[in-house]
Amino acid sequence: MSAASALDRMVALEAHRASVGFRPDPARLAAGWEYRFVADSGRAEESVTLYRELGFEASADPVGAAVSPECQDCQLVAALSFRAIYTRRPLAG
């Protein structure tokens, strides 16, 4: 396989994952949370701590229900206990 065709295959796989993969929780987004990224459970807790130190509300949600059954890589991410990181600024009180 040539380098160009290998690159084409990688780009096509990433496009497929993006189209059928993880979807941020619409209820979180509607409640004013911002989706940041997906991380393994250890890094997720570090990230939540850091965001909280920066003054954000932060949450690390399991990604299980947010992945498409059509995406095998996404199912693996869910099985490995990855977390979706969400943040929002605290409401002015």
Query: What pLDDT score does 3 carry?
Result: 67
Would you say 45 and 85 are in contact if contact means Cβ atoms under 8 Å apart?
no
DSSP-derived 3-state class of residue 17: helix
Q: 1: which 2 tokens?
A: 């396989």
Give the pLDDT confidence of 55-84 residue by residue, as tens digits. 999 999 988 766 767 777 777 766 677 888
Q: Residue 12: how many CB atoms within 10 A of its CB? A: 10
Residue 49 scores a pLDDT above 80: yes
Per domain, the residue ranges of the chain are 3-88
pLDDT: is 64 or 31 the higher one? Answer: 31
Rounded to an integer, what distance in angstroms lies between the CA atom of residue 49 and that of residue 89? 14
Residue type at position 45? E
